[in-house]
A and B are shown apart, each in its own frame.
Chain A
Amino acid sequence: MSAIQPEQQFEAFLAEGRFMLPRSLETGRCFWFPRVAEPGTGCTNLEWVEASGDGTVYSTTVIRQKPPTPDYNLALIDLAEGPRMMSRVEGIAPDQVRIGMKVRARVVQDGERHVVVFHPA
């Protein structure tokens, strides 16, 4: 398999509504963020696999804004596949997000791009 193009391919999948993770064909390990070589091993034999979408909040913060701009959530999510990624939890007040909370991924449009966000499971 030729080298993956991390940013382009990930965004193209998102535009199709798919949240994909890079996986090493040598170790079978998924990692985040997408890159051309598996961290640690340097393995470039990679494939994209669909994420289960299941996750757990590892940490959370509320970025406070000057009213009337609404505050927003910023969180680190541990994916069921292992990796930890930055995202936000929606569908709940930003200060109600709790560490350990089970969440589920959704691909949403955010301005001109698509992003992976999470909702309480």
Chain B
Amino acid sequence: MRDAFPRGQAAIVGAATYGVGTAPGLSTFDLAALASVKALSQVGLKPRDVDGLFCVVMDETLSGLNFAEYLGVRSRFNDNARTGGSSFQIQASVAALALAAGQCDVALIAYGSNQRSALGKLATSARSSPWETPYRPLRPISSYALAAARHMHQYGTTKEQLGEVAIAARKWAQLNPEAYSRDELTMEAYLGARMVADPFSVRDCCLVTDGAAAVVMTRADRARDLCERPAYLLDRKSVV
């Protein structure tokens, strides 16, 4: 069968963040709910208008179901798929499929994290692999470190080239008023940073921060009435 993604048939009409950086005293659902209400209000909607809910947070196994209860959403399409940091892109593409098929009319994608305030350390998955845990991997950093070490060996990638990635990310952060670290990162400082899992130092690893975000999606016909510049989903591809 031909790959027939419903190109341009669904769009993001509202998007909001909440508590980016530090947000003490709030649960992951509290944060996700504050971002959700903010995103919905941009287009004059309330939680009860949502009938497609997409939610994954680290500390709630059944996030999709429990967040529906929290928000007072009665969803006819509910998604709880965990694919790590790509969860939200995947959810946006599934939402587009569901919207185009008429299986929901208003989709809400919500996320919240309080890793910095509640834990101060990385939250990891619930069940650890019996085949790898005895070797004390530092997930997810050591997984990427092993891949990076192999990449350097196989393709000649250098530490300085990895540094350019971290420095470019910091330059983008300097343009973002919500970013947590905005001071300049030089190559010298990058190369002198404390090592975590070779070849990665603290400057290669993502920050441990709080924050929440939510987006609202509808079909294209309605999107034009709700906001001035809808962001249309044109296609999706993923490979595992």
Given contacts A34-B131, A61-B142, A87-B135, 6 further A-B contacts (CB under 8 A): A59-B146, A60-B149, A63-B196, A64-B198, A72-B136, A99-B153
Given contacts A58-B150, A74-B197, A63 and B138 within 8 Å (CB-CB): yes
Question: Is A88 on the interface with B (CB-CB < 8 A)?
Answer: yes
Question: Binding site of A, secondary structure by majority: helix, strand, loop or mixed?
Answer: strand
Given contacts A59-B149, A99-B153, A7 and B196 within 8 Å (CB-CB): no
Q: Is the CB of B135 within 8 A of A62?
A: no
Binding site for A on B (CB under 8 A): 129-132, 134-138, 142, 145-147, 149-150, 153, 194-199
Q: Is the CB of A86 within 8 A of B138?
A: no
Q: Is the CB of B197 within 8 A of A110?
A: no
Query: Which of A7, A58, A74, A100 touches B135 (beta carbons < 8 Å)?
Result: A74
- A59–B136 Cα distance when bound, in Å, is 16
Q: Is the CB of B131 within 8 A of A33?
A: yes
Chain B residues whose CB sits within 8 angstroms of the CB of A88 once the complex forms:
135
Q: Which of B131, B194, B196 has the most CB of A within 10 A?
A: B131
Question: Is A85 on the interface with B (CB-CB < 8 A)?
Answer: yes
The residues in A between 58 and 114 inclusive whose CB is less than 8 angstroms from any CB of B are: 58-64, 72, 74-76, 85-88, 95, 99-100, 110, 113
Q: Is the CB of A64 within 8 A of B197?
A: yes
